[in-house]
């Protein structure tokens, strides 16, 4: 069973324990003896099952259970033990016909167990990982307050007893003062703990984490504004100049449908930028009428930091009437894309993206010179319709038998797409722009393309039709026909049952340029949901180690460091993790090492319950965004900075500070 399923099962059992404890408490309060006893037995059994599910999860990693083991279960266990001791004997006696099983202590203790069960689950959902002393104190005080209030409701308040005849007897007076003492001191403890807990919870985090390496040195500072691209192409190369103007436009898809888009140059996708290795790419970005501002981020391209397009970190956002010139060497071959990085959860979705493809100069890469059909296929969803390369998802293309074909798939959405290439065996020549080592021929497999990710699929055109099926839509996708005379004849099989190809076991292993076991720094990022501050406001955020942007500490590295990331997904959603300015090497997923081709990626899909280990060498100085590429998640807090020692920013440092004003 996957960790994700254990997480869900544990939530279900936690809900059941809440339900059974409340059932026991309410039936006992109503003096329904038999149902109360049955519910109490059920509650105890479910609580024991909960211990098992938490133990199973603990086996998958401490991150998944920390707050359950340290707070939720002990709190529930103590309350449950009290409930059994206080309510159990009278209920058993009632079953034998003595009394009705009711006692004030019994009702209060059973309901307190119910509050403890509920509070534990709420703490998991609202606070998550890591558990702080503040969270623990607040949670325990809430349960304590619940117990005190219940006692006041279930047993008559001391003042009422004081008016009755009981108060006249000495033992009655003692009982009253004891009750008052418990009430007042209990209340005082609860209020103090809650206050201390809230105070602790609102403390700011450290501004930086060092991952076990040294802290900031006293080296002379360099500004990201000075980390810019070189001014001339390599020998033999040319300057590829483009002018992109961000503007609103009504775009007509080939299907005839019109969409209100945000565009570069009135086109969706924006102009395709292509270059040959060694060229210099120079793009002047202007903004006509996107009020919130735009930038250009070169996704997966390890540009100098000042060209990275992160507003508030590497430049100021380009507002209407302003412009910014990006310049960087086309030194990486492969399939990439560009998009705005300001309020990108809105802007990219509405169309502010385009493709970037750099081909090798000498054509020495296997087959690349001979590829006669080379299609760049960004996959984007507009209003629920998947649009491929600006087409409407029913694109047809002629490809004579024997034609070498390369399909460059780019996922420009925030969710993964399932890709099936039907009708031919093929190879995945490159992932995220980087060639794989000895990629084998595959067929009848599904490919999961993470948000932001790219796959280059290559094959020789057979003499029958080939279909690219996206998300199982057999009417959409791309058709390649070998002959001009049989349009769209081939029937496409149902591809939904095909197994998913695991890229961690695809291709052949090869040497990598550094030893990832010798990491200079190791950072752990636990991804979750919870209440956290995002851009200065409290939100139900997507969090990293319990915090939201910009309150997540920067990760400090020094140039030349080998850096290791452990990325843990505790949540029920997928998080495509994306580090700017670097490619990372996949080491393992859920403890199973990558055994196929070295897999260098800029985005990796961390699914619910998964734990990924990746490593990279810090060779590109700057301040780099490190975030979830589900862009709404990033906007809701799941974003932090990787900062090189000695690099500063004059742009404020907080990514897209005005992003929150976008609707």
Task: List interacting residues with Cu ion (CB under 5 A).
Answer: 575, 628, 630, 633
- Residue 510 CB, shortest distance to Cu ion, in Å, is 31
Q: Which is nearer to Cu ion, 481 or 633 (CB)?
A: 633
Q: Which is nearer to Cu ion, 23 or 614 (CB)?
A: 614
Taking CA atoms, 368 is separated from 97, 406, 456, in Å, by 88, 9, 11
- Residue 644 CB, shortest distance to Cu ion, in Å, is 25
Q: What is the dihedral of CA 114, 118, 119, 120, to 10 degrees?
A: 100
Q: Which is nearer to Cu ion, 337 or 577 (CB)?
A: 577
- 323 closest CA partner among 282, 284, 281: 284
Rounded Cα gap, residues 238 and 160, in angstroms: 92
- Residue 574 CB, shortest distance to Cu ion, in Å, is 7
- Residue 268 CB, shortest distance to Cu ion, in Å, is 24
Rounded Cα gap, residues 432 and 362, in angstroms: 21
Q: Which is nearer to Cu ion, 426 or 624 (CB)?
A: 624
Cα 3 to chain centroid, rounded: 16
Taking CA atoms, 401 is separated from 104, 408, 482, in Å, by 84, 20, 5
Q: Which is nearer to Cu ion, 61 or 450 (CB)?
A: 450
Q: Which is nearer to Cu ion, 293 or 548 (CB)?
A: 548
Q: Which is nearer to Cu ion, 299 or 633 (CB)?
A: 633
Q: Which is nearer to Cu ion, 633 or 641 (CB)?
A: 633
A 10 A CB-CB count for 67 gives: 23
- Residue 568 CB, shortest distance to Cu ion, in Å, is 13
Q: Which is nearer to Cu ion, 504 or 628 (CB)?
A: 628
Beta bridge partners of 539: 532
Q: Which is nearer to Cu ion, 37 or 451 (CB)?
A: 451
Q: Which is nearer to Cu ion, 343 or 478 (CB)?
A: 343
- Residue 420 CB, shortest distance to Cu ion, in Å, is 25
Q: Which is nearer to Cu ion, 154 or 631 (CB)?
A: 631
Rounded Cα gap, residues 330 and 237, in angstroms: 9
- 240 closest CA partner among 229, 224, 250: 229
- Residue 633 CB, shortest distance to Cu ion, in Å, is 3
Q: Which is nearer to Cu ion, 295 or 630 (CB)?
A: 630
Find the helix packing angle between 104-126 and 133-154, rounded to 10°: 150
**Which backbone phi and psi does 76 adopt, to 5 degrees?**
-65, -40
A 10 A CB-CB count for 136 gives: 21
Q: Which is nearer to Cu ion, 209 or 630 (CB)?
A: 630
Rounded Cα gap, residues 175 and 162, in angstroms: 10
- Residue 91: CA atoms inside 13 Å, Cβ hemisphere, count? 28
Phi-psi region of 212 (alpha: psi -120 to 50; beta: other; left: phi over 0): left
Q: Which is nearer to Cu ion, 555 or 630 (CB)?
A: 630
- Residue 446 CB, shortest distance to Cu ion, in Å, is 22
- Residue 530 CB, shortest distance to Cu ion, in Å, is 13
- Residue 492 CB, shortest distance to Cu ion, in Å, is 32
Q: In what order do the strands lie in the sheet with 353-359?
A: 273-276, 353-359, 334-339, 297-299
A 10 A CB-CB count for 12 gives: 11
- Residue 549: CA atoms inside 13 Å, Cβ hemisphere, count? 27
Taking CA atoms, 362 is separated from 235, 439, 560, in Å, by 13, 21, 30
Rounded Cα gap, residues 282 and 199, in angstroms: 51
Rounded Cα gap, residues 311 and 531, in angstroms: 25
- Residue 635 CB, shortest distance to Cu ion, in Å, is 10
- Residue 640 CB, shortest distance to Cu ion, in Å, is 13
- Residue 629 CB, shortest distance to Cu ion, in Å, is 7
- 341 closest CA partner among 314, 376, 381: 314
- Residue 616 CB, shortest distance to Cu ion, in Å, is 20
Q: What is the dihedral of CA 616, 618, 620, 624, to 10 degrees?
A: 80
- Residue 631 CB, shortest distance to Cu ion, in Å, is 9
Rounded Cα gap, residues 540 and 297, in angstroms: 27
- Residue 308 CB, shortest distance to Cu ion, in Å, is 20
Q: Which is nearer to Cu ion, 270 or 416 (CB)?
A: 416
Q: Which residues neighbour 205 within 8 Å (Cβ) at sequence distance 6 or greater? A: 547, 551, 552, 553
Taking CA atoms, 410 is separated from 11, 97, 200, 634, in Å, by 35, 73, 45, 20
Asked if residue 466 lies in contact with residue 479, where contact means CB atoms within 8 angstroms, the answer is yes
Rounded Cα gap, residues 649 and 306, in angstroms: 10
């Amino acid at each position: 069973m996957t960790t994700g399923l254990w997480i869900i099962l544990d939530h279900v059992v936690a809900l059941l324990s809440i339900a059974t404890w409340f059932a026991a408490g309410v039936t006992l309060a109503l003096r329904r003896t038999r149902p109360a006893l049955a519910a109490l037995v059920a509650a105890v059994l479910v609580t024991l099952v909960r211990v098992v599910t938490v133990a199973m999860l603990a086996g998958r990693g401490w991150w998944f259970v920390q707050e359950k083991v340290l707070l939720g279960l002990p709190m529930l266990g103590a309350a449950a033990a009290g409930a059994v001791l206080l309510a159990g004997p009278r209920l058993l006696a009632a079953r034998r016909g003595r009394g009705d099983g009711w006692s004030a202590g019994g009702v209060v203790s059973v309901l307190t167990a119910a509050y403890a069960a509920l509070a534990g689950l709420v703490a998991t959902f609202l606070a998550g990982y890591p558990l702080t002393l503040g969270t623990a104190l607040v949670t325990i005080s809430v349960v304590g307050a619940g117990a005190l209030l219940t006692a006041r409701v279930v047993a008559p308040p001391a003042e009422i007893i004081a008016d009755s005849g009981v108060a006249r007897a000495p033992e009655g007076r003692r009982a009253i003062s004891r009750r008052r003492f418990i009430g007042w001191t209990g209340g005082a403890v609860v209020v103090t703990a809650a206050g201390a807990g809230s105070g602790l919870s609102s403390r700011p985090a450290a501004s930086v984490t060092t991952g076990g390496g040294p802290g900031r040195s006293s080296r002379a500072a360099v500004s990201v504004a000075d980390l810019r691209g070189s001014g001339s192409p390599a020998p033999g190369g040319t300057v590829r100049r483009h002018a992109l103007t961000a503007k609103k436009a009504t775009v007509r898809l080939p299907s005839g449908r019109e969409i209100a888009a945000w565009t570069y140059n009135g086109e969706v996708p924006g102009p395709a930028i292509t270059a040959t290795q060694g060229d210099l790419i120079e793009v002047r970005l202007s903004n006509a009428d996107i009020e919130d501002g735009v930038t250009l981020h070169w996704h997966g391209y390890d540009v100098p930091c000042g060209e990275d397009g992160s507003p508030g970190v590497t430049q100021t956002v380009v507002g209407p009437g302003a412009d910014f010139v990006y310049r960087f060497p086309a030194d990486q071959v492969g399939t990439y894309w560009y998009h705005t990085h300001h309020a990108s959860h809105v802007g990219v979705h509405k169309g502010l993206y385009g493709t970037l493809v750099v081909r090798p100069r000498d054509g020495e890469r296997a087959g690349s010179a001979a590829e006669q059909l080379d299609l760049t296929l960004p996959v984007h969803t507009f209003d629920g319709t998947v649009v491929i390369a600006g087409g409407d998802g029913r694109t047809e293309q002629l490809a004579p038998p024997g034609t070498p074909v390369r399909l460059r798939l780019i996922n420009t959405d925030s969710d993964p797409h399932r890709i099936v290439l039907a009708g031919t065996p093929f190879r995945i020549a490159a992932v995220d722009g980087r060639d794989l080592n000895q990629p084998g021929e595959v067929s009848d497999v599904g490919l999961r393309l993470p948000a932001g990710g790219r796959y280059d699929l290559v094959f020789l055109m057979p003499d029958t039709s080939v279909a690219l099926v996206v998300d199982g839509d057999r009417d959409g996708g791309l058709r390649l026909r070998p002959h001009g005379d049989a349009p769209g004849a081939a029937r496409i099989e149902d591809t939904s049952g095909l197994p998913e190809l695991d890229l961690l076991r695809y291709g052949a292993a090869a040497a990598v340029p550094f030893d990832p076991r010798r990491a200079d720094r190791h950072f752990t990022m636990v991804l979750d949901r919870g209440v956290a501050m995002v851009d200065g406001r409290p939100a139900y955020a997507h969090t990293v180690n319990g915090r939201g942007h910009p309150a997540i500490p920067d990760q400090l590295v020094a140039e030349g460091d080998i850096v290791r990331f452990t990325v843990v997904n505790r949540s029920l959603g997928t998080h495509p993790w994306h580090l700017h300015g670097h490619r990372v090497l996949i080491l393992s997923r859920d403890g199973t090492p990558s055994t196929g081709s070295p897999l260098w990626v800029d985005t990796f899909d961390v699914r619910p319950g998964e734990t990924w280990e990746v490593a990279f060498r810090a060779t590109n100085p700057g301040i780099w965004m490190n975030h979830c590429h589900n862009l709404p998640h990033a906007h809701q807090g799941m974003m932090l900075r990787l900062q090189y020692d000695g690099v500063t920013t004059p742009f404020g440092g907080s990514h897209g500070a005005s992003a929150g004003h976008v609707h």
